[in-house]
């Protein structure tokens, strides 16, 4: 197998792709601090600035995707950057990230989605890990963090520096041994049967990923129990799935009936405080500080889980797969149980990063053509702003509500421009921009009135954003520059460490 033992890995195996054999040059802050004219289209302006830097990577910044979560190395790149070889790795156990999936009811029976990644965790010395963690911490050093923050920074860094395993078969053992407390999460109940072992139909991809639907046999459980047919229940049945041969690949599958309500919720800056729009804060909130809920969203979700019958929760974030465990751990101890989606590794190049959310949304909409969806997000993600209203057009009977947190209303640090034009022509009862979590209390999801009349809507359709509106354009440019700076520091530092 070809191995890159030179720093070339940075460019060959990461998002930069072979076509970009150069590190993005550090942006010159001074040059960018030029005043902008009014009414300029912020995206084309930013693209213009970025094009002058000569890198496609920079379009991440222009799209509101947190750029510090972009350039993760994978596979061979990790090995060569850590100076480890195949023999070192062979001695470490194979691990499986098994991401909780959903199942739909078909003519053949329950059809369950199994997705995740197979990888090995190299043994990295703490000193090395600290060097690597410092890449992600702008303006601070791991030595300056509190002990619990250091642990978190090392944990996240180690999760990123894993070696994915390609061309492997994955076998999943299904067990009906979930033990959800009655009413702990919407209508989720324990499956009474369905234990079986199934080998996935394909080997893992070049990046170690697997993602397949498989049909469950109707096996009999203890006490003669069995899976309930999807058209004979409104309840969501939960069934555990363990990746065979490892204790690291435990997950739960949610067997979701054809009709009912599903909420698809983004996580960053809606379920947790991230502040992706302030790169330094975003990095600390992601790499060092414990994940913290935003306002009282946990209470809002707990109430919905208890008051809306058989409400299916699906968490869909475009954060990269490598940090899935940290996101899941936070969600499951803070919010109702449910299925999960993060960004698979083959969606790492620029265009794929920008299309992954729609790809995952289309997949769940197509899997449940008769269910009605509640979509939750915030204004700082340009893909959310585009994709959520587009779903109303693509799947006219499937969108029940769209809720968007107006992030700039509570955070003056948020200078991201955002585009509301997709909402033009939508029924106001179908969507609401809101400021505080409590604004969600007065909505009637099941009755289809998603606008709490107490929350004044000020939407004008088109580009919004303080920096590019009437006030301080230079500030906005500074905001963008921080993004660029963060990215350039990241790339340059990785290069220095590797070199």
Ligand X SMILES: *[C@@H]1O[C@H](CO)[C@@H](O)[C@H](O)[C@H]1NC(C)=O
Instruction: List interacting residues with ligand X (CB under 6 A).
Output: 104, 106-107, 109-111, 121, 123, 125, 155, 158-159, 167-169, 171, 203, 205, 209, 211, 213, 218, 226-227, 229, 231, 242, 244-245, 247-248, 250, 303-304, 307-308, 325-326, 329, 344, 346-347, 352, 366-367, 369, 406, 408-409, 420, 433-435, 441, 445, 455-456, 458-459, 464
**Residue closer to ligand X, measured from CB, 7 or 88:** 88
Minimum CB–partner distance for residue 29 and ligand X (Å): 27
Minimum CB–partner distance for residue 485 and ligand X (Å): 26
**What share of residues in the chain are helix, strand, coil (percent, to 5)?**
35, 20, 45
Q: Which of 154, 157, 192, 155 is nearest to 175 (CA)?
A: 192
Minimum CB–partner distance for residue 420 and ligand X (Å): 6
**Residue closer to ligand X, measured from CB, 23 or 386:** 386
**Residue closer to ligand X, measured from CB, 281 or 299:** 299
**Residue closer to ligand X, measured from CB, 27 or 465:** 465
**Residue closer to ligand X, measured from CB, 50 or 374:** 374
Minimum CB–partner distance for residue 408 and ligand X (Å): 5
Minimum CB–partner distance for residue 348 and ligand X (Å): 9
**Residue closer to ligand X, measured from CB, 75 or 344:** 344
Minimum CB–partner distance for residue 395 and ligand X (Å): 13
**Residue closer to ligand X, measured from CB, 11 or 304:** 304
**Residue closer to ligand X, measured from CB, 196 or 205:** 205
**Residue closer to ligand X, measured from CB, 71 or 207:** 207
Both tokens of residue 86?
């195949």
User: Apex CA 442: angle with CA 441 and CA 443, to 5°?
Assistant: 100
Return the beta strands (E) in 121-220 as ranges.
163-164, 171-175, 188-190, 196-199, 209-215
What span, in angstroms and rounded, lies between the C-alpha atoms of 475 and 259?
48
What span, in angstroms and rounded, lies between the C-alpha atoms of 114 and 340?
11
How many C-alpha atoms does 388 have within 13 Å on its Cβ side? Answer: 32
Q: Which of 371, 401, 395 is nearest to 265 (CA)?
A: 401
What span, in angstroms and rounded, lies between the C-alpha atoms of 270 and 241?
29
Residue at token pair 């204004």:
379
Minimum CB–partner distance for residue 229 and ligand X (Å): 4
**Residue closer to ligand X, measured from CB, 54 or 369:** 369
Both tokens of residue 372?
């009605």
Minimum CB–partner distance for residue 97 and ligand X (Å): 9
The answer to whether the beta carbons of residues 314 and 338 sit under 8 Å apart is yes
**Residue closer to ligand X, measured from CB, 33 or 475:** 475
Residue 110 has φ and ψ, to the nearest 5°, of -70, 130
Both tokens of residue 165?
């395993």
Minimum CB–partner distance for residue 5 and ligand X (Å): 20
What span, in angstroms and rounded, lies between the C-alpha atoms of 310 and 258?
12
Reduced to 3 states (helix: H, G, I; strand: E, B; else coil), residue 326 is helix
**Residue closer to ligand X, measured from CB, 28 or 151:** 151
**Within 121-277, where are the H helices?**
126-136, 147-160
Which residues are within 8 A (CB) of 292 and not within 5 positions of it... i.e. 6 or more apart? 272, 273, 285
Distances 223 to 110, 220, 226, 233, 252 between C-alpha atoms, Å: 21, 8, 9, 20, 22
Minimum CB–partner distance for residue 66 and ligand X (Å): 19
**Within 320-381, where are the H helices?**
324-334, 350-367
Minimum CB–partner distance for residue 299 and ligand X (Å): 7
Task: For the chain, give the longest Cα–Cα distance.
Answer: 74
**Residue closer to ligand X, measured from CB, 308 or 497:** 308
Minimum CB–partner distance for residue 347 and ligand X (Å): 5
Minimum CB–partner distance for residue 166 and ligand X (Å): 10
């Amino acid at each position: 197998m070809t191995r890159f033992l030179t720093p070339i890995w940075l460019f060959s195996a990461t998002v930069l792709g072979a076509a970009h054999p150069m590190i993005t040059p550090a942006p010159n802050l001074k040059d960018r601090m030029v005043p902008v004219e009014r009414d300029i289209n912020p995206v084309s302006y930013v693209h213009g600035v970025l094009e002058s830097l000569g890198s496609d990577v920079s379009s991440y910044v222009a799209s509101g995707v947190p750029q510090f979560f972009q350039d993760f190395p994978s596979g061979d790149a990790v090995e060569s950057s850590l100076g480890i070889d195949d023999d070192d790795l062979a001695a470490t156990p194979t691990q499986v990230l098994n991401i909780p999936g959903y199942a739909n009811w078909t003519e053949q029976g329950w059809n369950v989605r199994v997705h995740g990644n197979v990888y090995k965790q190299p043994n990295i010395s703490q000193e090395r890990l600290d060097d690597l963690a410092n890449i992600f911490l702008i303006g601070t050093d791991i030595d300056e963090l509190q002990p619990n923050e250091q642990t978190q920074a090392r944990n996240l860094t180690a999760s990123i520096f894993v070696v994915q395993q390609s061309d492997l078969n994955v076998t999943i053992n299904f067990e009906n041994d979930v033990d959800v407390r009655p009413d702990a999460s919407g209508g989720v109940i324990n499956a009474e049967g369905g234990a079986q072992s199934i080998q996935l139909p394909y080997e893992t991809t070049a990046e170690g990923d697997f993602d397949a639907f498989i049909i469950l046999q109707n096996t009999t459980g203890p006490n003669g129990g069995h899976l309930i047919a999807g058209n004979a229940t409104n309840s969501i049945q939960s069934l555990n799935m363990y990746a065979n041969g490892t204790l690291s690949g435990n997950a739960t599958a949610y067997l979701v009936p054809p009709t009912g309500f599903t909420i698809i919720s983004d996580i960053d800056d809606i379920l947790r405080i991230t502040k992706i729009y302030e790169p330094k804060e975003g990095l600390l909130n992601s790499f060092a500080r414990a994940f913290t809920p935003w306002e009282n969203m946990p209470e809002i979700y707990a109430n919905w889980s208890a008051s809306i019958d058989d409400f299916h929760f699906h968490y869909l974030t475009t954060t990269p797969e490598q940090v899935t465990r940290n996101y899941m751990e936070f969600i499951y101890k803070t919010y109702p149980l449910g299925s999960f989606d993060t960004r698979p590794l083959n969606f790492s190049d620029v265009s794929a990063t920008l299309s992954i959310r729609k790809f995952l949304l289309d997949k769940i909409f197509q899997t449940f053509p008769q269910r009605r969806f509640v979509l939750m997000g915030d204004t700082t993600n340009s893909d959310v702003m585009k994709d959520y209203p587009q779903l109303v057009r693509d799947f006219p009977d499937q969108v029940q509500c769209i809720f968007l947190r107006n992030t700039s209303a509570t955070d003056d640090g948020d200078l991201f421009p955002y585009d509301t034009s997709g909402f033009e022509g939508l029924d106001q009862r179908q969507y609401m921009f809101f400021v505080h979590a409590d604004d969600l209390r007065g909505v009637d999801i099941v009755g289809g009135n998603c606008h709490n009349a107490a929350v004044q809507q000020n939407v004008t359709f088109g580009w919004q954003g303080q920096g590019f509106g009437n006030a301080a354009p230079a500030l906005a440019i500074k905001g963008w520059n921080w993004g660029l700076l963060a990215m350039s520091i990241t790339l340059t530092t990785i290069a220095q460490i590797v070199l």
